[in-house]
Structure 1
Amino acid sequence: MDKVSLVQKFALFSEHWSPKIVGELNGQHVKLAKFEGEFVWHKHDHEDELFFIVEGVLKIEFRDKTVTLKKGEFMIVPKGVEHKPVAESEVWVMLFEPATTLNTGDIENELTKPELDRL
């Protein structure tokens, strides 16, 4: 059992939209990611997804509204709900989601990361 420093882990990478696994519990991955720009519209048919904002501001667009998350806030996007994360400037995000979750959900494109790095 070791403690984890989020600041130290975020310092280990610079790429955007490429989650890194920093922990596992009960079939869930704890992931860190840096977001900047717009992601793709997608959904996860079988997994809920938790976005916790460590640094910055993240907008999550839904087909009927946009939710703005600030440092220290989180949101759970239920399975099956189409969404698109948007970061006007760099955002540090911690994600909690089942180990089976693909970052682009039901879409496969150049942003899809089938294998994630572990930090």
Structure 2
Amino acid sequence: MTGEVRNIHDALASFTEHWQPRRLVSINDYDVKVVKVQGEFTWHSHPETDELFLVISGELVIQLRAGDVTLGPGDVYVVPRGVEHCPRADGEVAAILIEPQGTVNTGDTPSARTAQLRELD
């Protein structure tokens, strides 16, 4: 996908499913993903990697055992590798995730919310 212009808003408008990330682009060994979320996710961690959240719209709460982090549009937060967390959104949130290629959305805790990374249509 190098050399191709991708629009974040067009990408987000192309799907409606929650907790089903889509690859926007890849850079080196990382995927830049767009995702829509609503409700509570699964408590999990990523033992091998940090996870970056960038909120485009809505309000996202990253629940941590040490206390919650609340993100609004334009806010960025990095969950350090190995830190257990559980994203939650009371209303719909659009976000970008940046993670190494092959990172599973539920990390070390497979659940009904575990998703295969999808390509944009």
Partner of 2:58: 56
Aligned partners of 1:24, 1:15: CA distance in 2, in Å?
Answer: 21
**TM-score, normalised to structure 2's length?**
0.95
Aligned partners of 1:82, 1:67: CA distance in 2, in Å?
Answer: 13
Partner of 1:37: 39
Give structure 1 stretches of 5+ with no counterpart: none
Give deviations 1:10-67, integer Å, cap 9, x for gaps.
Answer: 0110000010001000100000000000001000010110000011110000001000
| Further displaced range: 1-10 or 81-90 | 1-10
Conserved 8 A contact 2:42-2:111: no
| Match 1:100 to one of 95, 99, 102 | 102
| Match 2:91 to one of 89, 92, 95 | 89
Shift of 1:116: 1.4
Partner of 2:111: 109
Aligned partners of 2:4, 2:42: CA distance in 1, in Å?
Answer: 35
Identity %: 42
Aligned partners of 1:110, 1:51: CA distance in 2, in Å?
Answer: 21
> Counterparts in 2 of 1:5-24, with a 5 A limit?
5-24=7-26
Give structure 2 stretches of 5+ with no counterpart: none
Aligned partners of 2:47, 2:66: CA distance in 1, in Å?
Answer: 19
Q: Which residue identity is paired with 1:104?
A: T
SS of the aligned residue for 1:85 comes to strand
**TM-score, normalised to structure 1's length?**
0.96
Aligned partners of 2:117, 2:61: CA distance in 1, in Å?
Answer: 24
Shift of 1:2: 2.2
CA RMSD of aligned residues (A): 0.7
Aligned partners of 1:73, 1:84: CA distance in 2, in Å?
Answer: 17
